């Protein structure tokens, strides 16, 4: 029986302390981890590989089949950790006990392998075994792709915007190595680099990712200071149960069918082989520019209120108007101020109570990227992406190594970037008519690419008066590629 990709109910046990049923585990042993749930490790290295000797490279891929973390192993490792954390609470010295247990029974290092279209070609993969997504086939460097997304050109004369040299090359495969210890990641990444060097390939480029947190074990944040990684489609019943509000009624249902992210892997096992398409984008964040923009908007808010200078509350509100959430994760459609980073960050909300954008502007990053029903179209939920990003901070440059998984790059990531974030007419007036004299919504102020224009923002939270401000772009696309994350059975076959 094939896996039901249109599943109405989320998969697996509702209780996160249970084992996976064997009929599901059979598939999850062949699907890579980090698709249906984030690997959650704090450190990672991304090794971009160029194959030189196809036959040797295929053998190397085969050798990775036994080392890649499957979704099944990810579940089992997390189960062990959950049990350790629960048991620790019963001990007299929980933290010390937990640390000792985690050291003794540490999870294995997390590994993913992904292949680009150029990689499949270089490996000499038969056409019938190559995934067929239209965007994947053209690749991220393709002129049609960069034009569609408003990306800078891959290469340009000196002094003009262009991609980083590492991303200007042909990138055939990507290995993700992740762990909570940066030292363990470095060791494993070096070991893989050596093996690749001996087996028909070279590391063409490397990125280093480090999770930023509020406090030692607090929520994840990104470089502009906002809690990140909160809202994502959920596939496991245990995750959906955990997200359920007390009354059991979702206002925004985070669950998703497997078909949002999985497709049949044409090169994998006929029955169990499934994979996903990954978008990789290195996005540099200009913190000074972002803070300047936030200050410009905060000053406009203060002056509309009869005050000359912006105070901290104005700056907080300006940041929330831009992002859609305050730094502590509180959605601006529900909260007028931030209250400090807590444990549970609200995600069960929609924008029904704010049809005119009086609390959360239509252009806010989270409203552009997930309108939560604003468009009235059932297709909106199918455009969701599965975000697996990690921050970077290397040689004075900071930003996000943005990764997202989906079953269709044109209908999900590309649609979101082009038709929502880059389109000044989304959401208004494309979906809702403009009131007389009103400006169009404009770009997503975080990741919109295109002509920056003056935008309207609520003068006060919940107020239908508007102020105007023009914000510059503070995120720059430095390069990337489209990949397929194949089944483990494909990797095995490649090496046979
Ligand atoms: C440097 C670049 C970026 C930054 C700083 C950033 C930051 C954030 C933050 C702070 C959140 C709110 C927390 C959360 O719900 O997880 C968020 C949500 C989100 N972002 Fe981004 N993001 C970036 C790039 C992107 C890109 C390239 C896309 C896709 C085109 C994207 C799509 C989303 C989506 C879908 C959500 C969830 C919205 C929701 O469900 O409410 N982000 N982002």
- φ, ψ for residue 224, nearest 5 deg: -80, -5
Name the one residue in this structure whose structure tokens are 């831009």.
322
Ligand 1: residue of 228, 279, 445, 477 to mutate (most ligand atoms within 8 A of CB) is 228
Q: Please compute the mean of the pLDDT values over residues 177-195 and round it to a whole number.
A: 97
Residue whose CA lies nearest to ligand 1 atom number 11: 228
Decide whether any atom of ligand 1 lies within 6 Å of the 229 Cβ.
Answer: yes
Cα end-to-end span (Å), the chain:
26
Ligand 1: residue of 365, 478, 480 to mutate (most ligand atoms within 8 A of CB) is 365
pLDDT tens column, 258-302 = 999 999 999 999 999 999 999 999 999 999 999 999 999 999 999
DSSP 127: G
Q: How far is the CA of 404 from the centre of ligand 1 (A)?
A: 11
Decide whether any atom of ligand 1 lies within 6 Å of the 280 Cβ.
Answer: no
Decide whether any atom of ligand 1 lies within 6 Å of the 151 Cβ.
Answer: no
Ligand 1 atom closest to the CA of 226, numbered from 1: 10
For the chain, give percent helix, strand, coil, nearest 5.
30, 20, 50
Q: How far is the CA of 412 from the centre of ligand 1 (A)?
A: 14
Q: Please compute the mean of the pLDDT values over residues 150-172 and round it to a whole number.
A: 95
According to the model, what pLDDT value does residue 178 have?
A: 98
Decide whether any atom of ligand 1 lies within 6 Å of the 488 Cβ.
Answer: no
Question: Distances in Å between the alpha carbon of 92 and those of 7, 68, 100, 311, 424?
Answer: 44, 37, 14, 46, 57
Decide whether any atom of ligand 1 lies within 6 Å of the 466 Cβ.
Answer: no
- List, in order, residues 6 or more apart from 404 with CB less than 8 Å away: 278, 279, 385, 386, 387, 388, 389, 412, 413
Ligand 1: residue of 223, 231, 386, 417 to mutate (most ligand atoms within 8 A of CB) is 231
Domain parsing of the chain, residue ranges? 285-478
Q: How far is the CA of 229 from the centre of ligand 1 (A)?
A: 8
DSSP 5: T
Q: Do 248 and 347 contact (CB within 8 A), yes or no? A: no
C-alpha 234/C-alpha 216 separation (Å) is 26
Q: How far is the CA of 25 from the centre of ligand 1 (A)?
A: 31
C-alpha 117/C-alpha 303 separation (Å) is 53
- Picking from 410, 411, 415, the residue whose alpha carbon sits closest to that of residue 426 is 415
- Stretch (H or E) spanning 84: helix 71-88
Q: What's CA 103's distance to the chain center, in Å?
A: 29
Q: Kindly report the pTM of this predicted structure.
A: 0.97
Q: How far is the CA of 279 from the centre of ligand 1 (A)?
A: 14
Q: To the nearest 10°, the Cα dihedral for 152, 153, 155, 157?
A: -80
Q: How far is the CA of 446 from the centre of ligand 1 (A)?
A: 9
On the question of pLDDT at 343 being above 80, the answer is no
C-alpha 271/C-alpha 252 separation (Å) is 33
Q: Given pLDDT bands bounded at 50, 70 and 90, which one contains residue 418?
A: very high
Q: Please compute the mean of the pLDDT values over residues 18-42 and round it to a whole number.
A: 97
On the question of pLDDT at 95 being above 90, the answer is no
Tokens found for residue 124: 């000499």
């Amino acid at each position: 029986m094939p896996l039901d990709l249109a599943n109405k109910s989320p998969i697996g046990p509702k209780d996160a302390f249970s084992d996976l049923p064997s009929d599901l585990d059979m598939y999850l042993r062949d699907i890579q981890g980090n698709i249906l749930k984030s690997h959650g490790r704090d450190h990672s290295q991304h090794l971009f590989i160029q194959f030189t000797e196809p036959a040797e490279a295929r053998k190397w891929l085969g050798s990775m089949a036994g080392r890649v973390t499957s979704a099944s192993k990810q579940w089992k490792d997390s189960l062990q950790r959950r049990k350790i954390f629960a048991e620790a609470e019963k001990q007299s010295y929980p933290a010390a006990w937990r640390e000792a247990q985690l050291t003794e029974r540490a999870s294995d290092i997390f590994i993913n392998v992904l292949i680009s279209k150029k990689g499949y070609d270089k490996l000499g993969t038969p056409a019938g075994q190559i995934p067929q997504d239209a965007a994947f086939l053209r690749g991220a460097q393709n002129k049609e792709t960069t034009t569609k997304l408003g990306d800078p050109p891959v290469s340009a004369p000196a002094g003009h915007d262009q991609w980083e040299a590492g991303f200007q090359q042909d990138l055939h495969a990507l290995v993700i190595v992740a762990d909570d210890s940066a030292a363990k990641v470095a060791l494993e990444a070096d070991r893989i680099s050596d093996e690749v060097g001996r087996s028909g390939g070279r590391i063409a480029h490397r990125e280093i990712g480090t999770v930023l947190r509020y406090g030692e074990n607090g929520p994840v944040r990104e470089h502009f200071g906002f809690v990140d990684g909160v809202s994502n489609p959920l596939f496991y019943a245990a995750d959906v149960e955990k997200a359920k509000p007390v009354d059991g009624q979702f206002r925004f249902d985070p669950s998703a069918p497997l078909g949002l992210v999985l497709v049949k892997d044409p090169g994998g096992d006929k029955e169990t082989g499934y994979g996903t398409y990954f978008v990789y984008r290195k996005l540099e964040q200009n913190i000074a520019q972002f803070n300047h923009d936030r200050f410009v908007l905060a000053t406009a808010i203060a002056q509309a209120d009869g005050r000359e200078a912006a105070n901290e509350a104005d700056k907080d509100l300006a940041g929330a108007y831009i992002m859609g959430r305050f730094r502590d994760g509180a959605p601006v459609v529900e909260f007028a101020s931030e209250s400090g980073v807590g444990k549970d960050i609200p995600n069960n909300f929609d924008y029904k109570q704010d049809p005119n954008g009086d609390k959360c502007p239509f252009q806010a990053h989270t409203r552009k990227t997930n309108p939560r029903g604003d468009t009235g179209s059932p297709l909106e939920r199918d455009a969701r992406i599965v975000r697996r990003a990690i921050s970077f901070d290397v040689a004075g440059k900071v930003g996000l190594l943005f990764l997202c998984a989906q079953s269709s790059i044109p209908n999900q990531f590309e649609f979101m970037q082009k038709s929502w974030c880059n389109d000044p007419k989304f959401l208004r007036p494309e979906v809702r008519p403009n009131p007389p004299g009103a400006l169009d919504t404009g770009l997503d102020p975080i990741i919109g690419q295109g002509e920056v224009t003056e935008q309207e923002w609520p003068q006060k939270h919940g107020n239908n008066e508007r102020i105007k401000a023009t914000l510059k772009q503070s995120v720059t696309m430095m390069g990337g590629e489209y990949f397929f994350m194949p089944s483990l059975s494909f990797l095995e076959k490649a090496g046979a």
